[in-house]
């Protein structure tokens, strides 16, 4: 159950999509003075060393952030990509790409005093890394060694009545796909106005291919709920394999600015980090 370690995959093409969208969601929420919460159901270790043996062995960062890093200040680089790379730059020294910030670190460095970051992580190694990473932080961050699926509903709605929920399980188990939809359904009943960001992998597994449709149907059952769905595929699916060839982000209650930002960024990413002729993107949205 606990074989998945995000350090092997940090900074890959899936992280690019996930964290680019996350940065855009946070930037939109920061435009209002009222505080808000960020809840991360599967937080991971927080910060990853791209020079470590496991990261260099996998080489997955080469499919994402390592290729984009030299382009962060170029005029042709889309604004959403530049915003994302600016957050990566905050944990690195000048031009040296050594560290990669996970979702908790990106949120932590963007939130203000009065905002709050609530983190769940169950992996025994990852929770120790996460707690160590935030050990010096005395306020604004809560960490719990617990199943984020089971505990999300209990912390909703957040006291400020503004919040972003990030649901990003490893999907090691087929059960994770079902739990995503059930957890989301339960959460929205308690916090209808929250923004929910669900990441999922594109792999040769039926559950992965069915999840976007299930999320759309769930959204359709809810009153006055908007959604946005974006995918980024960098290569053809491996025949008979479960290799990651792309990923998707499904957003409930997205900001109105997100579609246009992604419409600019996604085709550019296909051209920049796409690996073969099967590289592609999708972008769709539904307003209530």
* Buried b or exposed e, range 185-221, using 16+ CB within 10 angstroms: eebbeebeebbbbbbbbbbeeebbeebbebbeebbee
Catalytic one of 15, 40, 115, 168: 168
Q: For residues 235 and 80, what is the distance between their CA atoms, to the nearest angstrom?
A: 22
Tracing tokens 């980024």 back to the chain, one arrives at 232
3 state SS for the chain = CCCCCHHHCCCCHHHHHHHHHHHHHHHHHCCCCCCCEEEECCCCCCEEECCCHHHHHHCHHHHCHHHHHHHCCCCCCCHHHHHHHHHHHCCCECCECCEEECHHHHHHHHCCECEEEEEEECCHHHHHHHHHHCCCCCCCEEEEECCHHHHCHHHCCCCCCCEEEEECCCCCCCHHHHHHHHHHHHHHHHCCCCEEEEEEEECCCHHHHHHHHHHHHHHHHCCCCCEEEEEEECCCCCCCCCCCCEEEEEEECCCCCHHHHHHHHHHHHHHHHCCCCCCEEEEEEECC
147 catalytic, yes or no? no
Active site residues: 168
């Amino acid at each position: 159950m606990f074989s998945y370690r995000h350090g092997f995959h940090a900074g890959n093409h899936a992280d690019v999509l996930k964290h680019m969208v996350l940065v855009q969601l946070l930037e939109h929420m920061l435009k209002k003075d009222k505080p808000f919460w960020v809840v991360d159901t599967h937080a991971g270790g927080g910060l990853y060393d791209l020079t470590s043996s496991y990261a260099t062995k996998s080489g997955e960062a080469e499919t994402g952030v390592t290729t984009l890093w030299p382009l962060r200040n170029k005029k042709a680089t889309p604004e959403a990509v530049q915003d994302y790379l600016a957050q990566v730059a905050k944990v690195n020294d000048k031009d040296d790409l050594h560290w990669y910030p996970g979702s908790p670190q990106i949120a932590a460095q963007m939130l203000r005093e009065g905002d709050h970051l609530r983190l769940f992580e169950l992996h025994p190694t990852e929770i120790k890394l996460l707690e160590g990473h935030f050990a010096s932080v005395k306020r604004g961050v809560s960490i719990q060694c617990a199943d984020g699926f089971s505990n999300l509903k209990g912390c909703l709605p957040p006291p400020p009545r503004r919040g972003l929920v990030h649901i990003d399980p490893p999907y090691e188990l087929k059960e994770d796909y079902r739990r995503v939809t059930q957890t989301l359904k339960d959460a929205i009943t308690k916090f209808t106005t929250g923004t929910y960001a669900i990441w999922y992998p594109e792999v040769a597994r039926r559950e992965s291919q069915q999840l976007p449709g299930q999320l759309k149907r769930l959204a359709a059952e809810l009153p006055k709920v908007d959604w946005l769905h974006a995918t980024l595929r960098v290569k053809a699916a491996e025949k008979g394999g479960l290799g990651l060839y792309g990923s998707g982000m499904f957003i409930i209650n997205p900001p109105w600015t997100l579609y246009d930002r992604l419409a600019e960024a996604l085709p550019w990413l296909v051209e920049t980090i796409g690996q073969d002729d099967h590289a592609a993107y999708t972008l769709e949205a539904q307003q209530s």
